[in-house]
Amino acid sequence: YINELMALNTRTLEDEDGDHDDWIELYNAGTVDIDLGGMYFSNNIGLTAQYTIPAGITVPAGGYLVLWADGDGENDHLNFKLSGAGEYVGLFDSAAGHYAPIDAVYYDPQTPDISWGRFPNGGSEWRAMDDPTPGESNRLQPPQFSQTMRAPAWPGAGESVTVTAVVTAGNSIVSVTLWYDAGSGFQAAPMAASGTSWQLVLPAQAEGALVSYYLEALDSVGQRTLHPAAAPTVAHRYLVGYAPPAVTVNEFLAANRAVNQDEAGEYDDWLELYNSGEVAAVLDEMYLTDDLSQPKKWQLPPDTVIPPGGYLLIWCDRDTGQGSLHANFKLDREGEEIGLFADDAHANVPLEMIVFGPQQEDVSYGRQPDGADAWGFLDPPTPGDGNG
């Protein structure tokens, strides 16, 4: 079977030359190996014998074979590429001189780095796969936390806290569990379902209590997802009675080639903090990091203040000698983390924990509008100014 394919491979899988080429996966549902030598592959319905597969190219019994659709036309590299706009792909047998069809698929326009595969392996249903599986059994996306929130965000003494999570998955969700620690170790509490949302009320605590929690989702095939992903090492936390300044990480640029320069004339990565409050935000001794498991990686300098509705640009260049607003870390354009954490006096509770994916050169990623929950790419970027 043609079991899975990717027509827009930008970062998912590399061939032996390090190229991100399109690929097609074959699956052998039988009990004996199959030599594909002499069979034909084509993406042209009028040209069945477009590429003749050489002898010795084998799909093992119950196994998989990935063929590269890169136009090279040698060995396991086909002499055609796949169209991201959608097209036809067919596999044919040459037995007895006839071009007998073995399998074929017509696919629709594709999304970069999302594959198109059968469910189950060799089955008749095709689905988009956020988690491609070249050379492996096709599996549906594990549970994903698309949104988590708590209300109130910063409770006072005697206030209970409602935690809400939005969870999606390729399979059905069996359970979502909230693990919380109010000083006696983590304990499990099942969340109640309402559509794709799950909810739980955490009990009220006394002034100064430190509460940590994380979420665990389980689907019907046993796939589990934690939120945060590195839990319990990294967890959501709040300190009862602590009301932090209304500051958010509002925008960042992880691949600055020609947008804006620092004092030294260098095009460094940066992040922008935004004060959405009506009073000045004092950030003395708070911390920024690119690793949520290391919340105290870089401390903001003394007397750091952002006026109401104002912005502060931090250069992420790993060059602290260039000034007090130059952090000791860089941002990875392939994706990583950004965290803003409270000072030591407030238990370094997280004000912001952001996990981002691959970024584009000279295109920033920011909240839209300023301080909102929604994020999007900004071209051109708006350092120190409102996000469009």
What residues have CB less than 8 Å from 259, skipping those under 6 apart? 253, 267, 362, 364, 380, 381, 383
**Residue 226 burial by Cβ neighbours in a 10 Å radius (0-12, 13-18, 19+):** middle
On the question of pLDDT at 170 being above 80, the answer is no
On the question of pLDDT at 285 being above 90, the answer is yes
d(CA 76, CA 67): 5
pLDDT tens-digit readout, 316-360:
999 999 999 999 999 999 899 999 999 999 999 999 999 998 899
Evaluate whether 150 touches 211 at the Cβ level (below 8 Å). Answer: no
Evaluate whether 340 touches 237 at the Cβ level (below 8 Å). Answer: no
Higher-pLDDT residue of 89 and 120 is 89
Please say whether the dihedral angle defined by the alpha carbons of residues 213, 214, 219 and 224, taken in this order, is positive or negative. negative
Nearest to 44 by CA among 11, 9, 92, 8: 92
d(CA 239, CA 34): 62
The token pair that represents 295 in the structure block: 């919340």
DSSP state of 320: G
Give the confidence band of 181 by pLDDT, cuts at 50, 70, 90. Answer: very high
The token pair that represents 144 in the structure block: 């994903």
d(CA 49, CA 41): 7
**Residue 316 burial by Cβ neighbours in a 10 Å radius (0-12, 13-18, 19+):** buried
* Average of per-residue pLDDT values in the chain: 94
Evaluate whether 250 touches 272 at the Cβ level (below 8 Å). Answer: yes
d(CA 274, CA 158): 30
Higher-pLDDT residue of 146 and 257 is 257
The residue to which tokens 């190996």 are assigned: 33
- Res 195: pLDDT: 80
pLDDT tens-digit readout, 124-134:
989 888 889 99
User: In this structure, how many other beta carbons lie within 10 angstroms of the beta carbon of residue 179?
Assistant: 18
What residues have CB less than 8 Å from 176, skipping those under 6 apart? 143, 165, 167, 190, 191, 193, 198, 215, 216, 217, 218
Centroid of chain to Cα 287: 24
DSSP state of 258: S
Give the confidence band of 141 by pLDDT, cuts at 50, 70, 90. Answer: confident
Give the confidence band of 94 by pLDDT, cuts at 50, 70, 90. Answer: confident
Domains in the chain (CATH in brackets) are 2-129 (2.60.40), 144-239 (2.60.40.10), 247-378 (2.60.40)
pLDDT tens-digit readout, 185-242:
999 999 999 888 999 999 999 999 999 999 999 998 888 999 999 999 999 999 999 9
On the question of pLDDT at 96 being above 60, the answer is no
- Res 14: pLDDT: 94
* Rounded mean pLDDT, 106-133: 92
- Res 97: pLDDT: 58
- Res 98: pLDDT: 66
pLDDT tens-digit readout, 186-197:
999 999 998 889
* Rounded mean pLDDT, 144-166: 96
d(CA 280, CA 132): 47
Query: Long-range pairs for 294-301 at CB < 8 Å and ≥24 separation?
Result: 295/339, 295/341, 295/348, 295/350, 296/341, 296/348, 297/328, 297/329, 298/327, 298/328, 298/329, 301/325
DSSP of 373-386: S-EEEESS--TTS-
d(CA 323, CA 178): 42
